[in-house]
Structure 1
Amino acid sequence: YIEAPNPLDPQYAGVIPVADVKLKEHCKALGITGYSKLKKDDLKQAILEVAPDTRFWDEVVAEVEAAATVLSENDMDLCRGVMASVQNHDKASKAFSKGVAERSIYWEDAETGLLCRGRMDYYREDLGIIFDLKSCLDARYSKFQKDILNYHYHQKASWYLDGCRALGLPANGFAWLAIEKEQPYAIGLYMASDEMLQLGRSEMRLMLNQFAECQNSGIWPGYPDEFCTIELPEWARAA
């Protein structure tokens, strides 16, 4: 990963922007004539004929994108802040050590025969614990508790634990590292309870069985076939 190149960076001082107006200004500065009606590619070619060592901004961007995944300055700042917060947190830094990041697993569901897969954020085989890194606006217990149910994180937790068990891998627990996306990037550490995992497992089983049934029958149910009267939502009535 690399931060997107900044045209104000001194190392790009001699690079020419590729907006038509900028290219034409450069043509004028080089003493090139007849450029007023030329299109971008022709403008660049006219410049190169006079100054063959000229670098253009779109070429710089292409070189960077070919070398690494490009992140915006804001995203890179967020990544650096999150990383520093984790490294400076006693429990979090220890959790994300001695394990494997982005470990993929593949298994066959015993009940349906479906091929299943998952990719764990971080797996500690020595502890049998799967760690999931989640960015959030508020890492407080009550707020992240709602995030778990709203975004179905508990289903994913049960899915990965069941996948590990199907492969004979240690699977003793699932933990979330919730980290806020704004400074000071505060961290909340949470272990999934047995009740939460059981709910996630029940919901996943229902969906997995339905998916298998649809695959076997070729029938994929959508919304009701009949018209129904649609009412105002409660919040609109209250207003």
Structure 2
Amino acid sequence: MSTATVQAEAPASAAGPAPITEPGVYDMSNETYHAHRYALSSSGARKLLPPSCPAIFRYEQDHPQPPKKVFDIGNAAHKLVLGQGPKLVKIDAEEWRTNAVKADVKAVRDAGNIPLKPSEHETVHAMADALRRHPVASLLFDPERGTPERSLFWRDDKTGVMRRARLDWLPNPRSGRLIIPDYKTCRSANPEKLAKDIDEYGYHQQDDWYRSACRSLGIADDDAAFVFVCQEKTAPYVITVVEVNATSRRIGAARNRRALETFAQCTASGYWPGYSDDIEHLSLPPWAEIRDTQEYL
């Protein structure tokens, strides 16, 4: 198994980063990575397909949204677990209602950092401590065994589309099976709930996407494992490590192939359709038909 060379990207200009044409592993900030919108990401591939559509994908690419408070805990936990990312700034107020506090919060966000309430600051540190005590997760994110947040770029052989992925953790080359972890925060790490999350959030597509990146760049072979380290955001911050099964990965691979073909077609034509270009003939949902049939007919 060979390992792709890590390349440092040149600083971005005011017009944005220059397109990457050479496949490889790149060292860049999260903001720069997301600015390479000509290259399709796993989240973008999922947005192209139902229940979304290409028109929504294109709009969100052209109109990036500012950071949302709801993601602060997850992003802050990522920072502490991975050891890389924006600075965490504790705001000494549990209520962010006064103009002075709001100004402090805005200043932190404008600087690219993450503002946290005192209780949130305590929570994310407790989450990181819990992960370091977990027998499996602590080894997967051992600073001596890998590097955080590497950006992978490679070209799809069938469509010519440039693809991208940002690994939470790139393990060091070693003998034996390579295990590539991805850190997720969640409301419940119960395996039954996580099975539903895999379907709802398309984690089986992410699994195939990241495996494809690592195979294409010589980082891993077909035997490599990709696992999700899922941690609850409430005490006691339970952790479950999940590997998607083979059937789910095949479904994810098929969906990714459809997304790549859709992206290539839309890019070539300049047309990004909505849910349908035809007249849709709709009926009531089955439960509504049963309800109204019993009541009115």
Same fold (TM > 0.5): yes
Match of 2:228 among 166, 169, 176: 176
Cα gap change, 1:238 to 1:3, in 2 (>3 Å) = farther
1:205 aligns with 2:257: yes
Match status 1:129 vs 2:179:
yes
Alignment length (residue pairs): 195
Which of 98-107 and 211-220 deviates more?
A: 211-220
**Of residues 104, 128, 150 in structure 2, which corresponds to 1:83?**
128
Match of 2:113?
Answer: 69
The within-5 A match list for 1:37-116 is 69-73=113-117, 74-97=119-142, 98-116=145-163
- Determine the structure 1 residue equivalent to 2:90: 4
Unaligned runs of 5+ in 1: 9-17, 20-55
Higher relative contact order (CA 8 A, sep 6+): 2
Give CA deviations for 1:169-227 in whole Å, capped at 9, x if unaligned.
11411001111111101111112222222221111011101111221233323233454
Q: Report percent identity of matched pairs.
A: 31
Assess if the C-alpha contact under 8 Å between 1:128 and 1:169 holds in 2: no
SS, match of residue 275 in structure 2: coil
Distance 1:6 1:210, change over 3 A: same
- Cross-structure match for 2:216: 166
Distance 1:115 1:236 in 2: 45
Distance 1:62 1:167, change over 3 A: same
> What's the TM-score, normalizing by structure 1?
0.70
Q: In the aligned structure 1, how far is the partner of 2:254 from the partner of 2:199?
A: 14
Gaps of 5+ in 2: 1-86, 292-297
TM-score, structure 2 normalization: 0.58
| In structure 1, C-alpha distance between the alignment counterparts of 2:152 and 2:113, rounded to whole Å | 24
Structure 1, 59-68 or 202-211: larger mean CA deviation: 59-68
Amino acid at match of 1:216: A
Q: Which has the larger radius of gyration?
A: 1
State the AA in 2 paired with 1:105.
Answer: L
SS in structure 2 at match of 1:90? coil
Q: Which amino acid aligns with 1:91?
A: V
User: In the TM superposition, what is the alpha-carbon distance from 1:129 to its structure 2 partner?
Assistant: 2.2
1:76/1:169 Cα in 2 relative to 1: closer, same or farther (>3 Å)?
A: same
